[in-house]
Amino acid sequence: GADCKENREVILNAEYHFLTAEKMHEPLKRRIGEINESTMQEIGQHKNGKKVYASEWFEDGLYHTLYLDERKLASDKEKRERNVAKALKEYEEIEQLLAKRGAKAVQKKLSKKIKRVSKTCEYIIQQNISVQKRLAPKKDLLASLEKDADLDGKFVLVSSKRINPKKKLKLYRKKDVIEKMISDIKSVMKLRPFRVWNEDEVRGCVLLKIIAILMIS
């Protein structure tokens, strides 16, 4: 992704700042586990009354903010429960099929034929994809699906500059607007790699695209 050590250094060396969501790697998970939720500060709430809490810390020259969003917590929990129910249903169907008709029937059920057709119908690619699955103990299946359940509703924003937690979250949410505009320029305006190398020509092409997308908007 865009957020990596090299890109962060490029931004800082150019004397700019960055704000991004931090990937949930193991050291970060351990750090989150050390934070007592009861000590987190309330920074706002949604229209449905669900609250948002935050906790800050400074590490390796960066400002980290952990958020606990009760609305996201409910959504994540509901999604996890759906995944568990779906996995258990599939597990039981395969288990029953294995008992009645054997391993070959299970393999046949899990094999899919996929046809890929180009938009112009110039070619058709047909390939067989065999999905391999094995029946692990249910406790292992449930353990994998319940993994990181304590992180539901939580996410971390990291910045190179200290920002108030409420303002930091508000700034980060603007990212969606920027991404949609970039997506429109690439999809609607068909922005493609330039066939020119002159900086003025590149800037001119970008300017025309931006004017056009503003007119379409």
C-alpha to C-alpha distance for 99 and 158, rounded to whole angstroms: 51
DSSP string across 138-165: HHHHHHHHSTTGGGTTEEEEEESS---H
164: phi then psi, degrees, rounded to nearest 5: -55, 135
Cβ-contact 106, 97 below 8 angstroms: yes
Give the pLDDT score at 36: 93
> How sure is the predictor about 164, in pLDDT bands with cuts at 50, 70 and 90?
very high
C-alpha to C-alpha distance for 141 and 136, rounded to whole angstroms: 7
CA angle 32, 34, 40 (to 5 degrees): 70
- pLDDT, tens digit, for every residue of 167-197? 999 999 988 888 887 787 778 777 777 777 8
Q: In whole angstroms, how far apart are CA 129 and each of 97, 134, 135, 142, 216?
A: 20, 16, 19, 26, 42
The model's pTM = 0.71
C-alpha to C-alpha distance for 207 and 61, rounded to whole angstroms: 37
C-alpha to C-alpha distance for 139 and 146, rounded to whole angstroms: 10
The residue with greater pLDDT, 3 or 128, is: 3
The residue with greater pLDDT, 215 or 105, is: 215
